[in-house]
Amino acid sequence: GIQVEQSPPDLILQEGANSTLRCNFSDSVNNLQWFHQNPWGQLINLFYIPSGTKQNGRLSATTVATERYSLLYISSSQTTDSGVYFCAVGGGADGLTFGKGTHLIIQP
Amino acid sequence: GAVVSQHPSWVICKSGTSVKIECRSLDFQATTMFWYRQFPKQSLMLMATSNEGSKATYEQGVEKDKFLINHASLTLSTLTVTSAHPEDSSFYICSARRDSVVAQHFGDGTRLSIL
């Protein structure tokens, strides 16, 4: 099956800092989604981005499908950005394969 | 936006009990729903694909007789954990996909604790 690798596994930053999270995947995909899992376990859908670039406020994402990677950018971090960020990929109609996540801690 | 409701949020029960979890798409029809499981400090793993009106497709290593899935309507899928044991304790989360749309929308999950 498809492999998904996320880096870094852990990231500790001061409030106000910028960060880049990376997701590499081993095969072509029709679905790539970025999620933020909050401390209560809820998966917040950040982006559906199988290719191209999108922005939503302080967050943006870019997927280069031909090179099989995606990047999630967080600017001007806030403590509420803390949590686990997951990248998940799939073939379209299939279930998603999740990476192991990046555990982000934003310190005040 | 697309809303998926999952119920209950928390379940604590004794070993040997069967537990049913519901997943509903509130504002769209979902021919396909998915069930995932997440153990503490781990990632989410796909358990099964639930198809309206047909049998579910289970991932390798997931016991279909242990985890019964029913998708009787276009807005409701249920997962029943039969004769649950402590090792079934986990976070179960469902997702649904609008027909002709690829992106999946997730419920808030169910935390299952078997004593």
**Partner B contacted by A48 (CB < 8 A):** yes
**B24: Cβ–Cβ under 8 A, 6 or more apart, which residues?**
B4, B5, B6, B7, B75, B76
Looking at CA atoms only, how far is residue B16 from chain A in angstroms?
26
Residues of B in contact with A95 (CB under 8 A): 34, 36, 46, 49, 59
Instruction: Kindly report, residue by residue over A60-102, the tens digit of the pLDDT.
Output: 999 999 999 999 999 999 999 999 999 999 987 889 999 999 9
Alpha helices in A5-96 (DSSP H): none
Looking at residue B16, its pLDDT comes to: 96
Q: Are A51 and A31 in contact (CB under 8 A)?
A: no
**More confident site: A1 or B101:** A1
Interface test with B, best of A10, A23, A43, A96 (most B CBs within 10 A): A43
CA dihedral of residues A25, A78, A83, A101 (deg, nearest 10): 10
Residue A71: its H or E element: strand A69-74
Average pLDDT of every residue of chain A: 96
A10 interfaces chain B, CB cutoff of 8 Å: no
Of B45, B93, B102, the CB nearest to A43: B93
Cis before A8? omega within 30: yes
Per DSSP, the three-state class of B2 is coil
- Strand-pair partners of B25: B4
Kindly determine whether residue A95 and residue B36, on different chains, have CB atoms separated by under 8 Å.
yes
% of chain B exceeding 70 in pLDDT? 99
Task: Evaluate if residue B100 carries a pLDDT over 90.
Answer: no
For the segment B52-80, the average pLDDT, to the nearest whole number, is 93
Burial of B103 (0-12, 13-18, 19+ CB in 10 A): middle
Interface check for A83 against chain B (CB to CB < 8 A): the answer is no
* Per-residue confidence (pLDDT) for residue B99, from 0 to 100: 78
B102 pLDDT band (50/70/90 cuts)?
confident
Distance of CA A38 to the CA centre of its chain: 13
Say if CB B85 and CB B114 are below 8 A apart: yes
Whole-angstrom distance between the N-terminal and C-terminal Cα of chain A? 40
SS3 A55: strand
Q: Facing residues of B37 across strands? A: B45, B92
Q: Is residue B1 over pLDDT 80?
A: no
Report which DSSP code applies to A95: P
Phi, psi dihedral angles at A79 (to 5 degrees): -60, -30
What is the count of residue pairs from A and B with beta carbons less than 8 Å apart? 56
The beta-carbon neighbor of A99 closest among B38, B43, B49 is B43
